Amino acid sequence: MALIGALIGGVTNLIAIKMLFRPYKPLYIGSWRLPFTPGVIPKRRDELASQLGSTIVEHLLTPESFRKRFLNAEMHQKTENWIQRQLQKYVFNSPNSFNDWLASAGQENMQAKAEAKLDELVDLQYASIRKRIAGKTVGDLMPDNWKQETDQKIWRSVKYAVDRGSDYFSSVEGRRAIKVLLDEFFATRGRFGNMLHSLLGESTSLVDRIQSEIIKFLNSPKTFELLASLVYEEWEKLQEREADKLLSEFDLEPAVDSIKEYVREKADIPGRLNATLAETWPRGLEWTGENFTPLVTDFIFQQGELKMEETMQKINIEGMVKEQVDSLPLSRMEELVLGISRKEFKMITVLGAFLGGLIGIIQGLLVTALNLM
């Protein structure tokens, strides 16, 4: 009885374990389906897949678990360090020049384009200036402090010119210039010049008289007032002139072309385009590490926090799990489950045999006791 009970207990448990998966498909005798076919797991495969997906989403792969695993301070620092390493490796340590970067992005003839853009900016500024001064006088465009300073400098300039003229004509060079002019005057007048020369006397004495008169004229207060008034009147007339009409009297195109050439020279577009980023920006890596990379990392993690649940819904983890379970062959599923729990299933079979044997022993003892009675 013990052996029969052990055999029954072990075999029934073994059959029960096998019936978890087998048979994979329902078995029929005619149109009658045999009971307990297919096995429990194949029969409930859809429910198992749905329940497994729901369990994983609700208890395992939750937004909170992802936050704790990926959006923590350690991952933040690792991400920041990774971004900085990529910038150093592929950007700042790259031998590529700006021309190379632009060419890889499909941008050609950047020097010509950049210089054309600079010329365009100069033209725009020139057009803007012409538009701003249109219909306005020089005085309208001039700041008030410039007018006051110019008024003061006019008087000082006139005084400086008069003083310099007086000093010049008082010098030996000034006297020589007067004599040369006087001799040229007499020589170009023919007989009339000779007659004047004889009437006025020797040129030396005449030069002395002319020199003293010129110096006296220049040192006269009325001369200073006259010159200052004339200059000031011309200055007032200049302020009343329309600025655009004044500019139209000059050919400014050469000046504009010179400005364009100067701007292109200072911009040095060829030199900049042929330089690497590290040459152009020596402290670039340090600056990005302090200012750019932390901001990018913060933005990524902030967006991760905000979009976590929405992203998981779009990924549809529950549907993915169900799909994968549905597509997994039953033989492979059986192999996985038995591979994980083979030892436990063996223990269940042994336990069934043990319990069956124990029950057989008890039955044998009871039968023996009853026969003895």
User: Tens digit of pLDDT for each residue in 165-186?
Assistant: 888 888 888 888 877 777 676 5
**How high is the pLDDT of residue 291?**
92
Claim to verify: residue 168 and residue 23 sit in the same structural domain: no
**Higher-confidence position of 263 and 42:** 263
Last residue of a domain, one of 216, 241, 266: 241
Do 66 and 308 contact (CB within 8 A), yes or no?
yes
**How high is the pLDDT of residue 263?**
92
| Calpha distance 64→192 (Å, rounded) | 118
Is residue 150 one of the residues assigned to a domain? yes
Q: Is the pLDDT of residue 254 over 90?
A: no
Query: Residue type at 91?
Result: V
Claim to verify: residue 166 and residue 237 sit in the same structural domain: yes
Question: Helix, strand, coil: what percent of the chain each, to 5?
Answer: 80, 0, 15
Claim to verify: residue 40 and residue 14 sit in the same structural domain: yes
Claim to verify: residue 231 and residue 152 sit in the same structural domain: yes
Is residue 290 one of the residues assigned to a domain? no
Please choose, from the candidates 106, 85, 19, the residue with its C-alpha nearest in 3D space to the C-alpha of residue 297.
85
| Calpha distance 75→358 (Å, rounded) | 58
Kind and range of the H or E run holding 87: helix 73-87
**How high is the pLDDT of residue 203?**
54
- What's the pLDDT tens digit per position in 7-24? 888 888 777 777 777 776
**How high is the pLDDT of residue 262?**
92
Task: Give 46's pLDDT tier (boundaries 50, 70, 90).
Answer: confident
Give the Cβ contact number of residue 105 at 10 Å: 8
Is residue 283 one of the residues assigned to a domain? no
3-class DSSP assignment, residue 263: helix
**What integer is the mean pLDDT of 231-243?**
84
Residue with tokens 């292109």: 264
3-class DSSP assignment, residue 316: coil
Q: Is the pLDDT of residue 221 over 90?
A: no
As a whole number, the mean pLDDT across the chain is 81
Using alpha carbons, list the distances in angstroms from residue 123 to 128, 248, 255, 259, 260. 8, 16, 12, 10, 9
Enclosing domain of residue 197: 138-241
**How high is the pLDDT of residue 199?**
47
